[in-house]
Amino acid sequence: MRVNKATKSLFRRSRASTGRCWTFGLDGLTETIKSIGLFRQKAKKRHEAQPASVDDYDGVVPNSRAALQSLPGVGRKTANAC
C-alpha cells in the first residue's frame, strides 16, 4: 500500500512539474518516496537508472526482462512485476 501511495504522489508531482521525475534530483525524489521502506537506496538507484533509460531506451521503459534488468537497481523480481 505504501508503494502505491508513494507512486501516486510521484506521478502527481511529475505532472505538476515538467512531467519527468528525474528533474526532481536525488533529494526531491528521496523526499517524494520517503514513506517506502529503504527509500534512500531506492531513490539512489532510480536516480542512477535515469541516464540509462533515456540514453539507451529513448526515455521509454523497456519491455523485456533482460533490458529491464540491465538498469541499475532493477532485479529479477522488479523485472517480473513490470
Q: What are phi and psi of 19, to 5 degrees?
A: 90, 5
Q: What cell numbers appear for 48 in the block? A: 542512477
**What is the CB-side half-sphere exposure of residue 78 using CA atoms within 13 A?**
16
For the chain, list the strands marked E by DSSP: none
Query: pLDDT tens across 48-59, in order?
Result: 777 777 678 887
Q: What is the CATH number of domain 2-81?
A: 1.10.340.30
Domains of the chain, residue spans: 2-81
Q: How far apart are the first and last CA of the chain?
A: 17
Encode the chain (82 residues) as per-residue pLDDT tens digits.
777 777 777 777 766 655 565 567 888 888 888 888 888 988 888 787 777 776 788 877 788 889 888 887 778 877 776 5
The x, y and z cell numbers of residue 11, run together, are: 506521478
